[in-house]
Every structure is written in structure tokens, then in C-alpha cells.
Amino acid sequence: MKKISSYEIALSGLACAMATASLTLGIYVDVLILTAYLLAGVALMLPLAKRCWWGYVLAYIATCLLTFIFTSWKFWDLLPFIAFFGLHPLVNELQLKTKINRWVACFVKALWFDGAMYLIWRFIFEMTTTISGLDKYMVPIIFVGGTLVFVFYDYAMYKARALVNSLVGRISKK
């Protein structure tokens, strides 16, 4: 097992702090929640830029726990990050490391995204929505619209990954 350097620990701590701050702010200010998921996912890419897998895992867990502590009364707003947005950068790195076909990976990740959004809709919105018959319209909306949104999101996250890797590479001593 590779020994984690102090530089990687610092990257992981910075990732956790940035992700926790953005998620907490996003949960407090409802209109910023989607931006918060995006920024937190980008922040968690910091340890992945140095291939520090354990740093990422620990930063992800700490981010989820700290954000829950700060915003526990709105746990449902944190659920999409726990189920998808926080794990997506790790899945992208694993995809690149194992050299899985990008179209197959995109299809599987789109199914994961759609499934996560469907479950979140079932747990959160269906409990609070009293409109009958909404279920028959929401499933196609989630699976068609969600897939289209995901393809753009996945592309944007790969571009963000390249930017984060470039920035971390500039400040690295190695």
C-alpha cells in the first residue's frame, strides 16, 4: 500500500473543506443546490488528481458527515450528492484507469444517474406532492431528460477534471 504524502493529505483536506462549504451553502440557499453539487464534485477531484484514492474516499465521507451535521434538518437535499454527485468523480477516474469503453461507461453511468434521480424523486417529491397521475409522466421525464442532462454533465465533469489536474500539476513538486 502506498504511503500518503502530506501533500496528498492537504489536497484531501482542502477538497473536503471546499465541498462541505459549497454543499452547506447550497442547502441553505435553495437556488444554489445544483451549483453546490457541481462545485463539491469538482472540489473532490483534488485528491484524484494525484491518484490518492484513499484521500478521495475519506474526503467524500467527511464531506457527507460534516454537511449532514451542519444541515441535518434538510437531509433530503444532501441525498443526491451521497447517491450520485459525490461518487461520480471517482467512477470517472476508475473508468479511465481501467480503460473501459467510453460509450459503454456513459450508458452505465446514465442508467445510474437516472436510477438515482428516480429513487430520489420517489423518496422526496412523491411524499410531498399531492398531484395524482404525476408518476406516469415523471418516469419518462426522468429517463429521457435525465439522460440528456447527464451526457452534458459528464462531458463538463471531464473538462473540469482536466482543469483540476492541470492546476494541481502546477503546484505539485513531483
- 56 pLDDT higher than 60: yes
pLDDT in tens, 57-98: 999 999 999 999 999 888 888 899 999 999 999 998 888 889
pLDDT, mean of residues 86-111: 90
What pTM value is reported for the model?
0.86
pLDDT in tens, 119-133: 888 777 666 655 666
- 174 pLDDT higher than 60: no
- Above pLDDT 90, what percent of the chain? 44
Q: What angle do CA 24, 149, 87 make, to 5 degrees?
A: 50
Exposure letters 131-167 (e unless 16+ CB within 10 A, then b): eeeeeeebeeebbeebeeebeebbeebeebbeebeee
Can you tell me whether residue 49 is helix, strand or coil? helix
Per-residue pLDDT, 134:
64
Per-residue pLDDT, 13:
92
Q: Are 11 and 55 in contact (CB under 8 A)?
A: yes
Burial of 118 (0-12, 13-18, 19+ CB in 10 A): middle
